[in-house]
A = this chain, B = another copy of it.
Amino acid sequence: MPLARNAKPEKRVLTARGLATRQRIVAAAADLIYAASAERVSLDEIMEASGTSKSQLYHYFSDKDALVRAVIDIQTDRILQANSKFLGPLDSFEGLRAWRDALIQANRLGVSGGCPIGSLASELSSQSEDARRTLDQSFLSWTAVIESGLSRMKARGHLRPSADTKTIALAVLAAIQGGILLSKTASNSQPLEVAFDMALAHIAQHAA
């Protein structure tokens, strides 16, 4: 009993430490992969950047593919988190414009990097069925959050009852992804602005 009583908190401490180590590996991998690509980054580089050993890394991830899936998850969380300030309470055209402005402002600051999920989707969707499924889930989560906002706009009477919010949300995400890709290639935010404004005009076509 005393042993068990001691062991339990110790196990809890180890778990917290373990989670922190795992988190450190994934964060380092996410940053390195964002700066280059999944293919260009080696496990050795990730170990070095996160200050972990090979045995630690393989304790948490069976292989590089498993680590890349964790990177997709963390990047999805980061994107949803970064957009939640605008998408969380979104229920008006004013809110849509505030979101547009914030996303374009963020793009101006980091235009050359592109979207971390869009880049991984482009790189991995035709290389790994597991990665493709994880990336598809990421885009679906993103579409669902946009759709929630559009549904609230509909509930508040800003959009017509006939507006197909799911399809509109998918079109908005496509405009954003295409705009970010063209902006990264042009090295300026104009394509994203133009694409986002098309998406807003598209939503406005369904205004009540």
Contacts and interface: CB of A to CB of B under 8 A. Distances in A.
Interface of A: 35-37, 39-40, 112-114, 118-119, 121-123, 125-127, 132, 135-136, 139, 167, 170-171, 173-179, 181-182, 184-187, 190-192, 194-195, 197-199, 201-202, 205
Given A121-B184, A177-B182, 6 more contacts: A114-B126, A132-B185, A170-B195, A175-B195, A177-B178, A205-B205
A179 B182 CA distance: 13
B139 A126 contact: no
Contact of A119 (B122, B132, B171): B122
A174 B187 contact: no
**Among the interface residues A36, A114, A186, which one has the most CB atoms of the partner chain B within 10 A?**
A186
11 contacts: A114-B126, A121-B184, A122-B122, A132-B185, A132-B187, A136-B187, A174-B175, A174-B198, A177-B181, A198-B198, A201-B202
Nearest to A135: B185
**Among the interface residues A122, A187, A201, which one has the most CB atoms of the partner chain B within 10 A?**
A122
Contacts of A112: 125-126
Contacts of A123: 37, 119, 122-123
A122 B202 contact: no
B191 A122 contact: no
